[in-house]
Amino acid sequence: MSMSKAIGSPAEEILGIGLIQERKPKRRFAMFEAVVLGILFLLVAVWTVFPVLWMIGASLKTNVAISNDPLSLWPARPTLEHYRYVWTQVPFARYIVNTFWISLIVTVAKLVTSVLAAYAFSFYRFRGRDVLFYALLLTAFVPFTATMIPNYLIVAHLGLLSSVLGVALPQLADGLGIFLLRQAFRSVPLSFYEAALMERIGTLRILWYVLLPLVRPSLVALTILFFINTWNEYFWPFLILKEKSSYTLPIALQMFTNLEGGINWGAMMAASTLTSLLPLLAYALAQRQIMETFLHSGVKG
């Protein structure tokens, strides 16, 4: 009796062998899949990081070294001459201040309009609410070139060319920001909002003290995204800003291509490295909030 339990019936033995044989191909396929995905991710990472590393390395080379060995990532003799040139021969600090103020104004304006609009679309019921919301959402998919000429004519008619307000005016609202914050607000339990109403707290106080603390990760993510997008923007400021003293950093970079002696690659890479530092640092600090915001944006419709 004990021997039969130890050995098992022929059917059980055959079934057990079948299960083992079935698991082996699955494990092999899973390992193969993991290896392939790992290689793909590695290639994407190298493809993404290589230009950044090359930019930093080129900023530390002489222009002769860049011409003689353009593909090397690190110079044999690093030099800071291009960084000295950028700070002493170009009003780079002024361009940083211009870019910072424009980015700050646009970011704050977009946050205010996105928060107020998302609050209304989430907790107020009015006729045409959904139609208006989806109409605003569609503006996020309209290419900038489609509205560039009307925006330029409006800014010129208002006499705002070559001004910070002229750059900021067409960017005071953002359809994607409204959508993401609406989704964040709708993930908040409705009982919180109803309890605040029963306490007769004012509408804006409910928004400030109850709702915004609950959607703080989304606010952080949108703040970083709005700021980085405005910081890196080139074409619209290039159209509006006519005086060199009001240039932003992306516009200033093209100045290094219009030199009499040709393109100063080393100085351009040094300026590009300095321009990229703040966006890279901001994204590195807030990447978790940014990923969570986009992953959770579809939880509630």
Please name the residues in contact with 41: beta carbons below 8 A apart, sequence gap of 6 or more.
Answer: none
Q: What CATH architecture applies to the domain 81-298? A: Orthogonal Bundle (1.10)
**Lowest mean pLDDT, pick from 9-13, 31-35, 184-188, 223-227:** 9-13
55 pLDDT tier (thresholds 50, 70, 90): very high
Dist CA 275 CA 287 (whole Å): 19
User: Over the chain, what is the mean pLDDT?
Assistant: 86
pLDDT exceeds cutoff 90 at 179: yes
The pTM (predicted TM-score) of the whole model is 0.81
**Residue matched to tokens 């055959």:** 14
Dist CA 234 CA 245 (whole Å): 16
Enclosing H/E stretch for 44: helix 10-59
Confirm if 252 and 234 have CB atoms less than 8 A apart: no
pLDDT tens column, 113-169: 999 999 999 999 899 999 999 999 898 888 888 999 999 999 999 999 999 999 999
Dist CA 289 CA 285 (whole Å): 9
Please name the residues in contact with 228: beta carbons below 8 A apart, sequence gap of 6 or more.
Answer: 279, 282, 283
Amino acid at 264: N
| pLDDT at res. 20 | 54
301 pLDDT tier (thresholds 50, 70, 90): very low
Share of the chain above pLDDT 70, in %: 88
